Structure 1
Amino acid sequence: MSFAKLGLSDPILKALSDSGYQTPTEIQKKAIPLILKGEDIIASAQTGTGKTASFVLPILQKLDNGETVRGRSIRALILVPTRELAIQVEKSILAYGKHLQLSSVAVYGGSDLEENKQRLAQGVDILVATPGRLLDLAYQRSVFFNDLEFLVLDEADRMLDMGFIDDLNKIIDRLPSHRQSMLFSATINPKLRYLADTVYDDAVEIKVSSKGKKSNIEQWMIAVDKDTKSALLSHLIKENQWDQALIFVEKKHSAAKLVEQLGKRGIIADSIHAGRSQAQREKVWNDFKTGKLQFLIATGVAARGLDMDNLSRVVNYDLPYPAEEYIHRIGRTGRAGKSGEAISLVSKDDFKNLCMIESLLDHLLERREVAEFPVRKAVPISILNYQPRSKR
């Protein structure tokens, strides 16, 4: 199937061709026709399956076909959890809408508030925003929703994980009830289901997923003692001559420590985490994307919104919590059908997290051994469908 068969207009098809896209992904095939028909949707699809285009393309077309509204009242609102994702989504809007006369802006914590106000005062069709910054602008009467036609909650599960539920409710209360709403998420959990019930009356549900098992991503783990983890990672990088890796840790101080440990072994790495400025994060990510930097250490802040088409592998130096975060992390590789690998370094202390991840995946991770790193504290085999008694 081609994009033309989905009912998209010639200017959008030309922009897609300019960007090198010819064939829609599964989520795009299912979502675009429904959105063009005016349906509310709840869509579940893994990271890297083309969710952004599945809502941006039909919204652009419907806005282009509609009546242009002048003033501060926006026509489409796309809410995202992080500034990285806000920037990425607006880049997609600019690319896909390059032949249309539509305006957009991304606002997020860390961007210049006065600049945000000035841009909105000029009139904006599509606003991409993080919840906190949007409320700041709304409280200062710098953004209005009278003419809002479309609401998108992108990476909705992540917004809940980051504690945005109160902000989301405050925002939704301000919006006109007559609108088309879309919710996109990699996973649907009970908290998200509850939020969806407050946003939608009769939404069409779409699911494009296989419980986290992507055939184009080779997933495996190595059991390791905590005190030899950095040495093992260095060994894997050198022995396997890795060209590049995005390496996830849980805490920002762990990122700085690992950069130092790798450096002592002759491996140059840098880090992205919440303690670094937006300018620093953008520079490091651009260096990584262009190949100037081979190894990037990141906290969960980089699990969403940082797109790279040809990333060879991701490494879970620390296993994530909650388990759903694993899906978002591995989704940084194997994008758009390309192959990739996801490696997890697992110590005995990680056993409960491992159980939850494997239960979510509905399969055990392949276990591999490195002869040079025998394990003193063995990691037991997980029991699928393990459910923790409480959060750790």
Structure 2
Amino acid sequence: MGYNTPTPIQSMAIPVILNGDDLIACAQTGTGKTASYLLPVLNYISNTDSHHTTALVLAPTRELAQQIDQQVEGLAYFTGVSSQAVFGGGDGMAYEQQRRGIQNNVNIIIATPGRLIAHLTSGVLKLNNITHLVLDEADRMLDMGFYDDIMRIVGYLPKKRQTLLFSATMPPRIRKLAKNILNEPQQINIAISQPAAGIDQQIYRVHDQQKTPLLKRLLKDGGYLSSIIFASRKEIVKSLYKELKAAHINAAAFHSDLQQGEREEILLKFKNKQLPVIIGTDALSRGIDVEGIDLVVNYDVPGDPEDYVHRIGRTARAATTGTAITFVNQRDERRLKTIEDLIEKPIKQMDVPEELQGIQPVKEEKPHGGPRKDSRRRPNRYKGNKPKPAGGN
């Protein structure tokens, strides 16, 4: 497949996993952590005569589950090892395909927690032969509220197993999870919460009315071949899609209202360079693994500084370079400060193009019934022993 040199997380994690130890591995996105656990797991399965499901990989999103499944197909091509991605959101045919794969005792199941529990409770899936449990992007799973589901799934597994926990961040709740499900784990920490060195990070200080014209200017004149635009809400994603389409920019909106088949088609076109621009929310930041993305734009500053790291981590993957641009309005200055504190350096500020500087912000109207200009308290008309009018408030 053209891989000659292991990444740091691979060279540190693979020997630990081959040795049979439990592992907590903390590494930023785009460092090759998927192969760091898949390769030793595939090695184990290839050297046993097991005809059961022996490895379970839990992932937070359907897109990540599918990508891990695709990596298994590539890495295991000559080994005969089989896998099945299990996730919700598809039609009845997809569910039936997953059920058949489970009944055929595929070697590796890659699943989102909710859909896996559905198969477990139906009695179709048995996990009593599992030797390896992997939690990929464990921090994201906890952010999405999967803690109880994870613990419920662990209850179906043999106590004697190897458990591998991979996470981009290591907050206290991850430590709690690790303490509950891992056994004397080894620990690896690589550049926690630090963007890849190849990312050129930039900010533009703008007001909201300048954002979309600036985005159009960057996409049309910047010479970028593959770009991801992150927005805070799907309503903004849909609106941006309409604006870019009207400007004759070839883009697609990626959001939860789309059918599973539509989402897959968008990602496939983007991966094959048939689609130069994709617009999405943070669900996309962990669910896409595409090399050659040269621009990431944060249309809105993310509320969590860790999400900033994950968003811009879509570019400059596998030791390449890329550009990450963030639009910062006045309300987002505090969020920018927390991001700069996290990455331990200021982000380079760029000048807004001269032709956009004349765009004026829309003045927000004060809501009716707001405070009067004279904010001094009016005297109480009913002081002393004078009775209030009947029925008065």
Q: TM-score, normalised by structure 2?
A: 0.87
Q: How many residues align?
A: 356
* Aligned pair partner of 2:292 in 310, 313, 326: 310
For 2:189, the equivalent position in structure 1 comes to: 207
CA distance in 1, matches of 2:225, 2:18: 42
Q: Deviations over 1:202-223 (max 9, x none)?
A: 1111011154142111111111
For 2:83, the equivalent position in structure 1 comes to: 104
Q: Deviations over 1:200-256 (max 9, x none)?
A: 131111011154142111111111101221011112222323333110111111111
**Code of the aligned partner of 2:108:** I
**Is 1:352 the equivalent of 2:331?**
no
* Aligned pair partner of 2:266 in 284, 292, 314: 284
Paired-residue identity, %: 40
For 1:297, the equivalent position in structure 2 comes to: 279
Q: Deviations over 1:299-341 (max 9, x none)?
A: 1121123121111111111122322111111111111101111
1:20-35 map, 5 Å: 20-35=2-17
Contact kept in structure 2, 1:249 and 1:318, CA below 8 Å: yes
**Is 1:177 the equivalent of 2:159?**
yes
* Aligned pair partner of 1:94 in 73, 77, 80: 73
* Aligned pair partner of 1:56 in 35, 38, 49: 38
Gaps of 5+ in 2: 362-393
Deviation at 1:342, TM superposition (A): 0.8
Aligned to 2:155, the other structure's residue is in SS state helix
For 1:81, the equivalent position in structure 2 comes to: 60
Deviation at 1:35, TM superposition (A): 0.2
* Aligned pair partner of 1:322 in 289, 293, 304: 304
CA distance in 1, matches of 2:138, 2:46: 26
User: Is 260-269 or 137-146 further displaced after alignment?
Assistant: 260-269
Deviation at 1:351, TM superposition (A): 2.0
Aligned to 1:308, the other structure's residue is in SS state coil
CA distance in 2, matches of 1:218, 1:376: 29
**Is 1:250 the equivalent of 2:229?**
no
Contact kept in structure 1, 2:128 and 2:156, CA below 8 Å: no
Contact kept in structure 2, 1:259 and 1:297, CA below 8 Å: yes
**Code of the aligned partner of 1:175:** L
- Structure 1 segments, 4+ long, off by >6 Å, are none
**Code of the aligned partner of 1:36:** L
CA distance in 2, matches of 1:76, 1:288: 30
**Code of the aligned partner of 1:215:** A
**Is 1:136 the equivalent of 2:118?**
yes
Deviation at 1:106, TM superposition (A): 0.6
CA distance in 2, matches of 1:153, 1:210: 17
For 1:343, the equivalent position in structure 2 comes to: 325
CA distance in 2, matches of 1:291, 1:103: 28
Contact kept in structure 1, 2:295 and 2:322, CA below 8 Å: yes
**Code of the aligned partner of 1:39:** D
**Closer, same or farther: CA 187–376 of 1 in aligned 2, 3 Å:** farther
CA distance in 2, matches of 1:148, 1:192: 22
**Code of the aligned partner of 1:80:** A
Deviation at 1:292, TM superposition (A): 2.2
Q: TM-score, normalised by structure 1?
A: 0.87
CA distance in 2, matches of 1:209, 1:319: 22
Deviation at 1:267, TM superposition (A): 2.1
**Closer, same or farther: CA 100–201 of 1 in aligned 2, 3 Å:** same
Contact kept in structure 1, 2:168 and 2:192, CA below 8 Å: no
CA distance in 1, matches of 2:195, 2:82: 38
Contact kept in structure 1, 2:195 and 2:313, CA below 8 Å: no
User: Is 59-68 or 338-347 further displaced after alignment?
Assistant: 59-68
For 1:241, the equivalent position in structure 2 comes to: 223
Aligned to 1:337, the other structure's residue is in SS state coil
**Closer, same or farther: CA 242–115 of 1 in aligned 2, 3 Å:** closer
Contact kept in structure 2, 1:211 and 1:362, CA below 8 Å: no
**Is 1:361 the equivalent of 2:343?**
yes
Gaps of 5+ in 1: 1-18, 378-392
Deviation at 1:265, TM superposition (A): 2.6
Find the structure with the greater CA-based Rg: 2
